[in-house]
Every structure is written in C-alpha cells, then in structure tokens.
C-alpha cells in the first residue's frame, strides 16, 4: 500500500523542503516508487529538484481548483527513474481564496491523488510553513505526518499548535492521520544546544524520533541552487549520507514497504 506522508512544521527555516526533496530522492534511489508533491506556494521543492518554475504550465494549483488532473500536471522520472514530481508555483497561494466556498474544500487533495496512488510506494508532500487551508488539504490527504525539528533555540516552541491542528484533522476529516516521525535537522554535535534539543525531542516524542539526524552541512545548503538533490550534487557528503540513512529508517518503519535499501 502507498504511504502518503505530509512533511510539515508551521515554523519556517527548519529544513522542511530540504527534507522533502532529499528524502524523496533517497527513496527513489532505493527503487521505491516515489511522488514528491510541492504543496508550498514558494515552489522551492520544485526548483530544488531541478524543475524550471518559469516554464511550468499545469501545476498543483490547477489540480486543486479542478482544472486539471494529477496526471496532467505530473513530471515523470525527475532526476531518477522512480521519482515523479507534482510541481507548484506562487499561483498556488491563490487557491486559498478560491477554495473557501468549495464543498468539501479540505478533501480536494485527497480526491485528486486517489487515482494515482496505486502507482507509488511513497507520496511525500512538502507543506507550507503555515496552518491554512492548503496545509489542511495536505494533512487530510496524508496517512502520516513527518515533522522536521531544527536543533536550535525555540525549536520545540510552537509544536503544540501543530499537534493541536493534527488532532483537529484527526477528529474532523482524517482519523487515520498519525505522526510517522520527527526528524532532527541542522544538528551540530559540537554544540550543547543541539544535543539538548535532540535530548528534549527524544524525551517528548520517544521512538518517533529518527535515530539518524541531519547535520549542518555546506554541501546540503548549496545543492538547491544547482537544482539538484544532495545525492546528485555530492553523494559523498555527510548530508547525503544522512538522508540515505533516514530513507533506510523510513522504509524499515513502513510495514508494507519493500525491503530495498538506499544505495550509498
């Protein structure tokens, strides 16, 4: 069965898009059929995976407002044979207004994805850094939530708001939504603060925290400007190896996933 995972945190700058792009790429390298959905109007996942936003025709915006199907907006085999991408541009922000009066407006993403789900092992959705209608649509479409948490001051502040939203989604439109994992990002083992945040997260979330952490890494920060996931830009970097390990953990955590492992 397909695992649909929303990658969300209402706090910006936590490595959410970086994680969506690089985890999707790492799963694709492991021969997991993967769909990356750019659900953020900034469109950074789209450009970060190597798609030129200026040349895009049909996007997620057209899908949500009902003027196109997912099939019509898909880009297939992006960077890897097993990676498809549903791109976004800033037009997506307009969907917030256009969907307000729509019937079942919070379930449009789930309905749009339904016809293509059986083609994929994983669908990763990069959510906006907010808790608006677009994010609600993405959470309603997901089986699970993956929360990136940066190992910096105030890292855990505000997570209660996200967890409250998850609870409301569970009660209202998506009772199956679960928290699949918490991913520690921007980790610097030299800093007491990083180690303390990691310890606090593990105490609060327990086994939901991935054992692998994403370190601060210059190559990881450079890769999006070249439109490449880190395993294409520099597979030997510590950032690339970290995301490959996270993908391995995610596959192991998914009961219905195949047993293929990410290549080093």
Question: Which element (helix H / strand E) includes 5?
Answer: strand 3-7
pLDDT (tens digit, 9 = 90+) per residue, 183-241?
A: 999 999 888 989 999 998 999 899 999 999 999 999 999 999 999 999 999 999 999 99
**Which pLDDT does position 100 carry in this prediction?**
81
pTM of the model: 0.92
What string of DSSP letters covers 79-120?
Answer: SSTTEEEE---GGGGGHHHHTTTSTTGGGHHHHHHGGGGGG-
pLDDT grade for 256, boundaries at 50, 70 and 90? low
| Mean predicted confidence (pLDDT) in 173-180 | 90
**Which pLDDT does position 261 carry in this prediction?**
46
| Mean predicted confidence (pLDDT) in 6-16 | 90
Residue listed under structure tokens 């520099």: 234
Q: CA 170 to CA 190: how far, in whole Å?
A: 39
| Whole-number average pLDDT of the chain | 91
| Mean predicted confidence (pLDDT) in 117-140 | 92
């Amino acid at each position: 069965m397909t695992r649909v995972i929303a990658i969300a945190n209402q706090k910006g700058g936590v490595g959410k898009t970086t994680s969506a792009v690089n985890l999707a790429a790492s799963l694709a390298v492991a021969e997991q059929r993967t769909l990356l959905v750019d659900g953020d109007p900034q469109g950074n996942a789209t450009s970060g995976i190597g798609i030129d936003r200026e040349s895009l025709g049909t996007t997620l915006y057209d899908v949500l407002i009902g003027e196109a199907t997912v099939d019509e907006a898909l880009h297939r085999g992006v960077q890897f044979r097993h990676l498809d991408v549903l791109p976004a541009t800033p037009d997506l922000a307009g969907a917030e207004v256009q969907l307000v009066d729509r019937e079942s407006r919070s379930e449009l993403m789930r309905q749009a994805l339904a016809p293509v789900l059986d083609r994929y092992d994983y669908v990763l959705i990069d959510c906006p850094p907010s808790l608006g209608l677009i994010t609600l649509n993405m959470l309603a479409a997901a089986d699970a939530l993956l929360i990136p948490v940066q190992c910096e001051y105030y890292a855990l502040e505000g997570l209660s708001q996200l967890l409250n939203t998850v609870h409301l989604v569970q009660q209202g439109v998506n009772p199956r939504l679960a928290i699949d994992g918490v991913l520690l990002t921007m980790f610097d083992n030299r800093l007491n603060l990083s180690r303390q945040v990691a310890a606090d997260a593990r105490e609060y979330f327990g086994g939901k925290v991935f054992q692998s952490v994403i370190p601060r890494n210059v190559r990881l920060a450079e890769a999006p400007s070249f439109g490449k996931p880190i395993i294409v830009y520099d597979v030997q970097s510590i950032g690339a190896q970290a995301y490959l390990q996270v993908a391995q953990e995610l596959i192991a955590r998914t009961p219905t996933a195949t047993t293929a492992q990410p290549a080093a």
